[in-house]
Amino acid sequence: MPVTPFPRPKSMTTTSGGGPAADAPVRVVLDASTPAQGFRLQTSADGVTVTHADAAGLRYALATLDQLRADRDFTTTSYDISDHPDFGVRGFMLDISRDRVPTRRTLARWVDVLALARVNSFELYTEHTFAFTGEQAVWQDASPLTAADVRWLDALCASRGIELVCNQNTLGHMERFLKVPEHAERAENEDGFTMRGQHRPPSTVEPSAENAAFVQGLLEDVVPHFRTKRLNIGADEPWELGTGKSAQRAEEVGLGTVYFEYVTQVMRPWLDRGYTVEFWADVFGDHPELMDEVPAGAVPVVWQYDSPALLADVVDAASPGQVQEWRSLGVDVTALREGFRDRAKLLLEAGVPFWVAPGASNWNSLLGRWDNAVANMVDAAEVGLENSAQGYLNTSWGDHGHWDPPSVAFGPALFGGAVSWSLEANRDVDVAAVLSEAVLLDPTGLTGDVLVRAGGVCQALGAPLLNASPLCLVLREPDQLKPWAVPSPQALAAVHETLTGCLADLAAADPAAADGDVVVRELTQALRLSDLAVRLFQARADDGSFDAAAAPRLLTELEALLEEQRACWLLRSRPGGLADSLAEFSRLRHALLRAVG
């Protein structure tokens, strides 16, 4: 049977018989009328012809040809493939600040995966994990990327047709800087702030000219190591903005104006140098008065990490008290069901160009949330295409210790690349098969199948949550779980069976990729941690305490799993950040110790 390349092309016809010889020459035709990054690939008894308009189109055509050549029927099948991307920029963002900093080997592996998915932009999200000059007190324990690391990765990406892009936060998420005494006064609230009933250390810098100059210095230190003339300055989730040092200014001119005055100060020097500057649109998108303020070259990036289907499930399952709490915070409960359309509402109404940023749903999950990831990425592509968005940035975050192994995000990265290349052709692409056949080289097909099947256990728990899996929450904060985050006994039993089956199948898998043994080991660890989470739920009382009889066994198992978590981490990631990640288990350990007595 004819092979279907990955990503699936927009148009492909095949004819049996009369294919090219194995060593047939390739005729290359330059045609300016071919869409950007697109190509036409024709194979027949007369040979192989590639028509393209640019270097990217030629690259993708030849990569497709390589996939066709690998098929035994290549010489007896004629192909006519026409293809071009839905989105000009197809990006993937990897969080390397909370708390995993990848080794060079892991970064190179990511480049392989992204190149296969025709991702042409790779963003590294940093807060404190670049070795900024003069800031050793900030990064000394983080095993940061150095200038040499960035230049090496930049060259590797360039050789694969991928732009490496700096993504450095410059307003919120600056905790690691603000806890250093020399930077403490930069905080909007030096005493920290309270969120959801918990006190937190300062995270947002005061939106002052002095701080704009400070972060500009950070950018000047890191950006020149990236050859592309594009960067992302972040500026998302400035939780304390307008509540401390900028409160008076916010009252006078409005919070949105305070925000965008600062963001514009940070962007302007780069825009003047011809850079495209991305910034997250979570604050911007809530202020209609800012819609005509976007300077040329600046790009609001609209993020949304839960799918319309999950949002609807959460709303439908919410108690009256939960709905009232949302409304008291100004949340439009009805609009929650609209996904990206609600998130980008003001930009859509004003006609402001924007990019879309869905998520890989790997974080806060251990095994991923596969169903949500797929639906979220499709929603992003649909809304982006309807509004002629030029960029699609899939994101892989690392909130709360980045417990999930890198391989959990491989499948979402492939799917996001495929639907941002051609949504209609790839909505139902078999990612498990691509993982096994093209990424992990597993002839049994089991490794890819387990990655996708295990990613479905979150939905099977029947306790829909925003941005998290109950299995992750019970490991991190067992004494703080809301009633709606607790799965039913029946769902827990069913998920236990699924996890047990995944472990058995993974033991029979045979991935031949260079990191195949690492994938099996780290995925086994994630499955076992997830199963421990199931049994923690089963041993947990409504008040958050654990059954005294079960606690000693659970505590012993946890300690062994944390040792294996440490070992698996070091297979893919640098040692900096490991202690912080493991510390996220401390509340669970203390809860079990209390139960043991």
295 preceded by cis ω (within 30°)?
A: no
CA distance 35 to 319: 51
- Closest among 401, 402, 406 to 586, alpha carbons compared: 401
Quote the longest CA-to-CA distance of the chain: 80
Measuring CA to CA, how many Å separate 7 from each of 61, 207, 271, 453?
12, 43, 34, 21
Of 190, 237, 477, 564, the catalytic one is: 237
Burial class (CB in 10 A: 0-12, 13-18, 19+), 501: middle
As a whole number of angstroms, the distance between CA 168 and CA 129 comes to 10
Strands 298-303 and 355-357, bridge-based pairing: parallel
Do the bridges between strand 47-52 and strand 39-44 make them parallel or antiparallel, or are there none, so unpaired? antiparallel
Label residue 386 exposed, middle or buried (CB < 10 Å: 0-12, 13-18, 19+). exposed
3-state secondary structure of 495: helix
* Cβ pair 161, 57 in contact under 8 A: no
Cβ within 8 Å of residue 578, ≥6 positions away = 99, 566, 569, 570
Residues with Cβ within 8 Å of residue 558, at least 6 apart in sequence? 532, 585, 588, 589, 592
At residue 301, φ and ψ (nearest 5 deg) are -110, 115
| Alpha-carbon torsion angle 221, 222, 227, 229, nearest 10 | -90
- For 446-459, letters b (16+ CB in 10 Å) and e give bbbbbbbbbbebbb
Task: Give the DSSP letter string of 83-117.
Answer: E--S-SEEEEEEE-SSS--B-HHHHHHHHHHHHHT
End-to-end Cα separation, the chain, in angstroms: 64
- Residue found by looking up tokens 């790009």 in the block: 299
Q: Rounded to whole angstroms, how far apart are CA atoms 370 and 373?
A: 5
Rounded to whole angstroms, the Cα distance separating 3 from 241 reads: 54
For residues 62 and 72, what is the distance between their CA atoms, to the nearest angstrom?
A: 18
CA atoms of 372 and 378, how far apart (whole Å):
10
> Strand runs (DSSP E) across 316-417, as ranges?
355-357, 391-396
- Confirm if 113 and 514 have CB atoms less than 8 A apart: no
| DSSP category for residue 18 | -
**Residues 522, 427, 82, 76, CA torsion sign:** positive
Q: Is 237 an active-site residue?
A: yes
Q: Which residues are catalytic?
A: 237
